[in-house]
Amino acid sequence: MKIENNLKVWRAKGNITQEQLAKEVGLSRQTINSIERGKFIPTVLSALKIAMFFKTNIEEIFYLKGGEK
């Protein structure tokens, strides 16, 4: 299984830049970029902060895809 995300979609909906999101959740812009591209899996704390920023459940942004359970 692989962790996927809709972070770029959520940012676009909110008209938020990577830099703005990074500042709000205490990460670097490069980290946000890496998360969006699937090159970096955020910690649970970071994922929760991102979800809280968008006022949604973590599962709306991050989800498991493929493979066996």
Q: Tokens 């991102």 map to which residue?
A: 50
Find the distance separating the first CA and the last CA of the chain, reported in whole Å. Answer: 8
- Which pLDDT tens digit goes with each residue over 31-58? 999 999 999 999 999 999 999 999 999 9
Q: Is 4 helix (H, G, I), strand (E, B) or coil?
A: strand
pLDDT band at 14 (very low <50, low <70, confident <90, very high): very high
Q: Is 65 helix (H, G, I), strand (E, B) or coil?
A: strand
Q: Is 49 helix (H, G, I), strand (E, B) or coil?
A: helix
Structural domains of the chain, ranges and CATH numbers in brackets: 2-59 (1.10.260.40)
How many angstroms separate the CA atoms of 68 and 35, rounded?
Answer: 23
Average pLDDT of the segment spanning 57-64: 96
How many angstroms separate the CA atoms of 14 and 40, rounded?
Answer: 22
